[in-house]
Amino acid sequence: MLQNSWLIPLFPLLSFVLLLIFRKSKGEGTAWIGVLLTGLSLILSLGVWIAVWQGDGIKVEGTWFEIGERAITIGYEVNPLNALMLVIVSLVSFLVHLYSKGYMHGDERFPVFFAYLGLFSFAMLGLVLSPNLLQLYMFWELVGLGSFLLIGFYYFKSEAKAAAKKAFVMTRIGDVGLFIGMVLLFWQVGSFEYDEIFASVRNGDISSGMLTLTALCIFVGAIGKSGQLPLHTWLPDAMEGPTPVSALIHAATMVAAGVYLVAAMYPLFQASETALTVVAVVGGVTAIFAASIGLMQKDIKRVLAYSTVSQLGYMMLALGASGYVAGIFHLTTHAFFKALLFLAAGSVIHAVHTQNIDEMGGLWKKLRLTGPLFLIGALAISGVPLLSGFFSKDEILASTYADGRYGLFWLAVVAAFMTAFYMFRLFFLVFTGKPRGDQSGVHESPSVMTLPMIVLGVLAIVAGYLNTAWFGTFLTDFLAGGPVELAHGDHHGPSWIPIVATAASFLGIGLAYLIYKKGTLSRDWITRSLPGLSNVIYNKWYVDEGYDATFVKGTKGLSKLGVLFDKYIVDGLVAAVVSGVQGLSKVGSRIQNGQVQTYGTFAIFGIVILLLIVALTGGYFT
């Protein structure tokens, strides 16, 4: 099974190629190519996972090309961490393929959509299987390409065009950080291999300053991909893509790649206390920052997008606070419940043809399957006990506390409260109350769409039992087989932490209930009491505007300056040389006046000057 794991990414690639060839076919049976091939990937991934569970692992590499004496290798590697990722990615990818069959029904570029999904799945699975940083970087960029193509799938919409461009450029900024970190590490270690990098780190071959620098550079890459502060602005805009894409790429897999990167390079981060602190702080601040924006958004997908940013911040916080397992655990559970939420949101959008929550309401009765499934997702993400989100969030809080980062701990608790609040604000506004828009043609989605949601709903409930203090720490044991030495075996700090977390989430749900269901509290009492702050939050802290005013304007200004420089200085210099030559030739032609006497005069002066030179320098014949 393990020897064939290189096939896992190739199935979706085959799907990409096949679907591009058949892109003109009219029927929607082409979707089954994608579904079938990702299904094969899923089966193989599960097989690989089981093999790894039994303690196996594999690493195969061959030379790709050589630089001098150094061979650059490519290959594949399976260890516990990426076996888990393989299952998550191929599972979500498979379900999203299936769901898209229904969601994209009637789109004129139906096969192209599935082709792009295939390309993305290929890149993501390849990224996970990479045994070295260079290969990871290559797939990392390809993943970005897949995301770019899918965000810009509705290419004729100018918002989609802008969002796709923004996503590519913003993540590219992060990628350059990763690039620098990777290359610096190469010259320190002499290889891109994870194993050799970790060996050098263990042996202390790299100075501590360099360790911190490279770890931070690599973290910049993770920031870009995972939409962490300050490179988060592309992720909400990426919601311009079709909703299944948001579920697959911008919730479950690609954005989690940043977290995966930090996890995969964890020994490097562990070696630098500064780097870990930066990771934790960026994660914690992002978690609460994005959650605060999520409180006031009106677009159902944007609320979920900010929620994703916030949850990714949680994972980063966990990793920064030495909660390696907690971070991965939350990545896993989040993949399921967030994909579920997005797919359910897609089902809602599919039904009502709008994304504005002000135009929804009262959908619970009409969408008898989507409603409960959305509720499961919302309960899971809010951290209600016994659902998956509760366990993983609890572990993050515990490890943050155990690591002694109390400030960040309380920040995370507040973020958890906010999460519960905005998720249930969303739930109540969408599914309860009176219909606020035209809902005449609303009906439940077809079974190809509900089936994936049901699977994810089940997983969103049970995935938490992978790693609990009560039933067994399967995930911890599983990941312990990997290259990372788990320093703190058990993070279960004081027993009051789960109670605090649960209280925070119930408080959030209760508040949302009071405001949006019962109407006990007026909806705009915060807006009225704190108009300035709520305005700032509503406008997403003006980050986009800030970037626009500084970086975008600055770059454009520099570019304009360059154009002027090119026009007036470079071309001006050329023009000056030209006019100089022309001036000289004018002088020359004035001497050429047709008067023999003038010619004679110049000839005489010429001879005199030559003779003088000869006389003064002592002559040629000395």
Q: Name the residues that contact other proteins, by CB under 8 A.
A: 23, 63-68, 134, 137-139, 141-142, 145, 152, 155-156, 158, 160-161, 164-165, 168-169, 172-173, 176, 179-180, 183-184, 186-187, 555-556, 558-560, 562-563, 566, 569-571, 573-574, 592-597, 600-601, 604
The answer for residues whose C-beta is within 8 angstroms of residue 612's C-beta and 6 or more apart is: none
d(CA 335, CA 251): 7
Closer Cβ to other proteins, 209 or 519, answer by number:
209
Closer Cβ to other proteins, 74 or 442, answer by number:
74
Min dist. Cβ of residue 59 to other proteins (A): 21
Min dist. Cβ of residue 509 to other proteins (A): 42
Closer Cβ to other proteins, 222 or 408, answer by number:
222
* CB neighbours of residue 485 within 10 Å: 12
Q: Which two tokens stand for residue 612?
A: 């003088």
CA atoms within 13 A on the CB side of 604: 6
Min dist. Cβ of residue 205 to other proteins (A): 16
Cβ proximity of 377 and 420 under 8 Å: no
Closer Cβ to other proteins, 549 or 591, answer by number:
591
Look at strands 58-67 and 70-78 and give their pairing.
Answer: antiparallel
Q: Where are the beta strands (DSSP E) in 451-528?
A: 467-468, 472-473
Q: Which residue has the tokens 């195969």?
A: 60
d(CA 294, CA 300): 10
Q: Which two tokens stand for residue 558?
A: 């520099």
d(CA 445, CA 356): 19
d(CA 192, CA 133): 5
Closer Cβ to other proteins, 530 or 604, answer by number:
604
CA atoms within 13 A on the CB side of 24: 1
CA-to-CA separations, 577 to 565, 569, 583, in angstroms, rounded: 17, 12, 10
CA atoms within 13 A on the CB side of 585: 6
Surface-to-core class of residue 270, CB atoms within 10 Å of its CB (0-12 exposed, 13-18 middle, 19+ buried) = buried
Min dist. Cβ of residue 561 to other proteins (A): 8
Provide φ and ψ at 72, rounded to 5°. Answer: -100, 125
Min dist. Cβ of residue 540 to other proteins (A): 22
Closer Cβ to other proteins, 521 or 563, answer by number:
563
Q: Which two tokens stand for residue 309?
A: 């940013």
Closer Cβ to other proteins, 7 or 458, answer by number:
7
Min dist. Cβ of residue 180 to other proteins (A): 6
Min dist. Cβ of residue 583 to other proteins (A): 16
Min dist. Cβ of residue 70 to other proteins (A): 8
Min dist. Cβ of residue 237 to other proteins (A): 14
Closer Cβ to other proteins, 110 or 427, answer by number:
110
Closer Cβ to other proteins, 186 or 289, answer by number:
186
Min dist. Cβ of residue 144 to other proteins (A): 9
DSSP secondary structure string for all residues of 84-146? HHHHHHHHHHHHHHHHHHHHTTT-TTHHHHHHHHHHHHHHHHHHHH-SBHHHHHHHHHHHHHH
Length of the chain: 622
Min dist. Cβ of residue 141 to other proteins (A): 5
Alpha-helical segments (H) within 403-440 = 406-431
Q: Which two tokens stand for residue 529?
A: 């009491």
Residue 351: what residue type?
A: A
Provide φ and ψ at 78, rounded to 5°. Answer: -125, 120
Closer Cβ to other proteins, 164 or 251, answer by number:
164
Tell me the β-bridge partners of 74.
62
Closer Cβ to other proteins, 121 or 297, answer by number:
121
Residue 289: what residue type?
A: F
Which candidate, 13, 74, 76, places its Cα nearest to that of 48?
A: 76
Provide φ and ψ at 505, rounded to 5°. Answer: -70, -40
Closer Cβ to other proteins, 142 or 349, answer by number:
142
Closer Cβ to other proteins, 23 or 436, answer by number:
23
Q: Which two tokens stand for residue 517?
A: 């269901």
Min dist. Cβ of residue 134 to other proteins (A): 8
Min dist. Cβ of residue 89 to other proteins (A): 19
Min dist. Cβ of residue 544 to other proteins (A): 16
Closer Cβ to other proteins, 67 or 487, answer by number:
67
d(CA 285, CA 326): 18
